[in-house]
Structure 1
Amino acid sequence: MEQIKNGILDYLKDNSFMEQGTVLKDSDSLTQNGIIDSIGLLELIDYICETYSIEIPEDMLTPENFDSLKGITDLITRLAK
């Protein structure tokens, strides 16, 4: 799980409004902290699908699954099994 979380953090630092020195807690909101917007979210979903070779069902495209590092990491872990 740490490896997945670190991969998502690296992606966000390279492809979002997140500055390199920003420290995020696992439960911090990515949208409320201005790290990701709606277009960035779509790009993140594409990145996750390609990187982890998973397909995300429509019913799992919820704020709970994509607004924090914990939500994203938990979703990938569930789907990658």
Structure 2
Amino acid sequence: MDEIKQDIIGFLQNNSFMDSNTQLEDDDSLTMNGIIDSIGLIEFLDFISEKYSIDIPEDMLTPENFDSINGIANTIQKLIK
């Protein structure tokens, strides 16, 4: 799961959502911290789908699943099994 978390952070840094100095805990809200917005989330979902060759069901698009690094990593793990 650490590799997935690194992929998430790498995407956010490489696409200018956050810089390398940003301090973010795994359970911090990405939206509340101004890291990602609805447009950024669409880009991010495309990245996840391509990177892990998964389809994300609409019912999984919830704040619990996609508003923190832990939530995203857990969701990806569920979908790649």
Is TM > 0.5 for Structure 1 vs Structure 2?
Answer: yes
User: What is the match of residue 79 of structure 2?
Assistant: 79
What is the deviation of 1:15?
1.3
User: What is the match of residue 35 of structure 2?
Assistant: 35
Unaligned runs of at least 5 residues, structure 1 = none
What is the deviation of 1:59?
0.3
Unaligned runs of at least 5 residues, structure 2 = none
The alignment partner of 1:12 has SS state of helix
- For normalisation by structure 1, the TM-score amounts to 0.96
| Superposition RMSD in Å | 0.8
- For normalisation by structure 2, the TM-score amounts to 0.96
Q: Could you tell me the percent identity over the aligned residues? A: 62
User: What is the match of residue 10 of structure 1?
Assistant: 10
Kindly provide the CA deviation profile for residues 27-79 of structure 1, in whole angstroms up to 9, marking residues without a partner as x.
Answer: 00000000001100000000000000000001001111110000000000000
Tell me the matched-pair count: 81
Q: Distance in 2 between matches of 1:31 and 1:16?
A: 15
The alignment partner of 2:29 has SS state of coil
User: What is the match of residue 22 of structure 2?
Assistant: 22
